[in-house]
Amino acid sequence: MSALGRHVLAEFYGCPPDKLNNPAQIKQDMMAAALEAGAEIVETVFHQFSPQGVSGVVVISESHLAIHTWPEFGYAAVDIFTCGQTVDPWVSCNYLKQKFAAQNMTGREIKRGIFDVELPHKPAV
């Protein structure tokens, strides 16, 4: 069986609230996490909510990294979806655990686009 992509759903607990309520720093950390895994960044969008919380997306050639934070609970939900074989989403996930100073992280990986035949990353049309 072959999968087109890997999607990691990660939850970060016990993060200092100031780490989760700074959109400029979160954007920098998310972009660095993508680059750390070898991804190519295409675009970014981040938004700070009032009174607190940040949501953002780093679009990469291989798919995306997305985040939603709840500083009041020290919690962040992060999705890292990568296509192909060259970018490991767990590299980004572990990088963010360190950057957010998370006391605990849980994560699970879902294979996306599962087929019974071997597939090239981007088949010719």
37 within some domain = yes
With cut-offs at 50, 70 and 90, classify the pLDDT of residue 3: confident
123 within some domain = no
Region 36-40: what's the mean pLDDT?
A: 97
Element housing 2 (H / E)? strand 2-13
53 within some domain = yes
Helical H segments across the chain, by residue range: 23-36, 89-99
How high is the pLDDT of residue 115? 84
Between 78 and 4, the more confident residue is: 78
125 within some domain = no
Give the C-alpha separation, 47 to 113, whole Å. Answer: 30
Domain that holds residue 50: 2-115
121 within some domain = no
Q: How many domains would you assign to the chain?
A: 1
- Rounded to the nearest integer, the mean pLDDT of the chain is 93
CATH of the domain at 85: 3.60.90.10
9 within some domain = yes
Task: Find tokens 């969008």 and name the residue.
Answer: 45
How high is the pLDDT of residue 50? 96
Give the C-alpha separation, 11 to 93, whole Å. Answer: 10
| pLDDT of 15 over the 70 cut | yes
Rounded to two decimals, the pTM is: 0.90
By annotation, the residues acting in catalysis are 63, 68, 83
User: Which region holds residue 84: left if phi is over 0, alpha if psi is between -120 and 50, else beta?
Assistant: left
34 within some domain = yes
Region 10-37: what's the mean pLDDT?
A: 98
With cut-offs at 50, 70 and 90, classify the pLDDT of residue 116: confident
Region 101-124: what's the mean pLDDT?
A: 83
Answer positive or negative: Cα dihedral of 69, 77, 63, 40: positive
58 within some domain = yes
How high is the pLDDT of residue 91? 98
Task: Find tokens 């100031």 and name the residue.
Answer: 18
| pLDDT of 124 over the 80 cut | no
